Amino acid sequence: MDETIRVGLEDLNGLSTRILTKSGFSDAHAGTISEMLSTCQIDDCHSHGLFRLLMCCQTMKAGKIDGRVLPVVAPSDSAIVRVDARGGMSLLAVAAAMPQLIEKTRKHGIAAMAVNRCFHFSALWPEVEQLSAAGLAGMAMVPSHSWVAPAGGKRGTLGTNPLAFSWPRQNQTPFTFDFATSGSARGEIELYLRAGKPLPEGVAVDAKGNPTTDPQAALDGAMLTFGGYKGSALSIMIELMAGPLIDDLTSLESMEFAEGAGGAPYHGEIILAFDPEHFSGGRVADNDTRAERLFADILDQGARLPSQRRFEARARNISRGYVEIPAGLYADLLGLLN
């Protein structure tokens, strides 16, 4: 990393909250957003840590979000909990519905949360890890804006569409992955732009459809899905599952809704949860042993599990008591307080 500034862990939430409340978010929204940003920053998830304060403030400036609205969780006897974010940021809505999702999953074995009408800027792993912390397996997905070309195309139709999964493990960190179905998150490309560095090959094409490693040309052109037609199909699935399935917008529609204003996309989110107790016929301990054998065989050959880097970063940052962020970003964040 270039020149960096140390931010003490005890200052992380306060800095974010001050910026968010100044920008117009209520204490409740600022609290859940700050918690998410600090959690990501402590794990060195730079594209969705403090950097995303810029997007949150841009979203407020764009004028379509309600920074003070409270979400409404619909009453339901079924395995589906629906929460209407009512045009606010997603996180307060997810927090309001998460206890019901856990309760319904324990009751039915499988349950889902559909979040509607939310602005969305965040990483998904902290949400699925709430499920694995409760002993459940969880998946989450969202569309975004139509920045990503489908395999074989050269025009943005799909979102960067992250998919996250978390599996509970006894007495240790869960097995979790969380990735964009584009070659990288758009936030990552923005970080390359800020650092003045070229992108890896194969992530984007320019506005004429030619491969590019220039971050600005990539942002002006179209991003590509990971894994060719396979990532493209996964991305389309996410559009459908977190869009039409739950009566919410696709990335194309989110982009139209924005009318060229910056900030976070506006759409829905789906979170699915599974209770191993129900699915394994009560043989959770035996099956955990078999899952652990799988993980051990991966590690035994020198491969790493997803999230291992993140858990190591968390341990390091917690033990030293601070995170490091680029000095340029820190200056931009302080600028948001003026």
Binding site for ligand PYC (CB under 6 A): 47, 121, 144, 160, 180, 185-187, 264-265
Beta bridge partners of 162: 180
Q: Which stretch binds ligand NDP (CB under 6 A): 64-72, 180-188, 281-289, 328-336?
A: 180-188
The CB-of-267 to ligand NDP minimum distance in angstroms stands at 9
Which tokens belong to 272? 């699915």
Question: How far apart are alpha carbons 216 and 218 in whole angstroms?
Answer: 5
Question: How far apart are alpha carbons 29 and 26 in whole angstroms?
Answer: 5
Question: How far apart are alpha carbons 224 and 151 in whole angstroms?
Answer: 7
Which C-beta is closer to ligand PYC: that of 270 or that of 284? 270
Sheet bearing 148-149, strands edge to edge = 148-149, 222-224, 204-205, 211-212
20 binds ligand NDP (CB under 6 A): no
Question: How far apart are alpha carbons 15 and 71 in whole angstroms?
Answer: 25
Q: Which stretch binds ligand NDP (CB under 6 A): 11-19, 107-115, 156-164, 282-290?
A: 156-164
The CB-of-75 to ligand NDP minimum distance in angstroms stands at 28
Q: Is 188 a catalytic residue?
A: yes
93 binds ligand NDP (CB under 6 A): no
Q: For residues 149-179, b (16+ Cβ closer than 10 Å) or e, as one string?
A: bbbebeebbbbbbbbbbbbbeeeebbbbebb
Q: Is 48 a catalytic residue?
A: yes
189 binds ligand NDP (CB under 6 A): no
Q: Is 47 a catalytic residue?
A: yes
Which of residues 15, 180, 203, 273 is near ligand NDP by CB under 6 A? 180
Which of residues 38, 47, 232, 250 is near ligand NDP by CB under 6 A? 47
174 binds ligand NDP (CB under 6 A): no
* CB proximity list for 333: less than 8 A, separation 6 or greater: 15, 19, 50, 53, 54
306 binds ligand NDP (CB under 6 A): yes
Which tokens belong to 300? 């035994």
Question: How far apart are alpha carbons 175 and 117 in whole angstroms?
Answer: 30
Per DSSP, the three-state class of 158 is strand
Which tokens belong to 334? 């302080």
267 binds ligand NDP (CB under 6 A): no
Which C-beta is closer to ligand NDP: that of 130 or that of 284? 130
Measured at CB, which residue is nearest to ligand NDP?
123
| Amino acid occupying residue 170 | Q
Catalytic residue annotation? 47-48, 188
Q: Which residues bind ligand NDP (CB under 6 A)?
A: 45, 47-48, 120-125, 142, 144, 160, 162, 164, 177-180, 184-185, 187-188, 304, 306-310
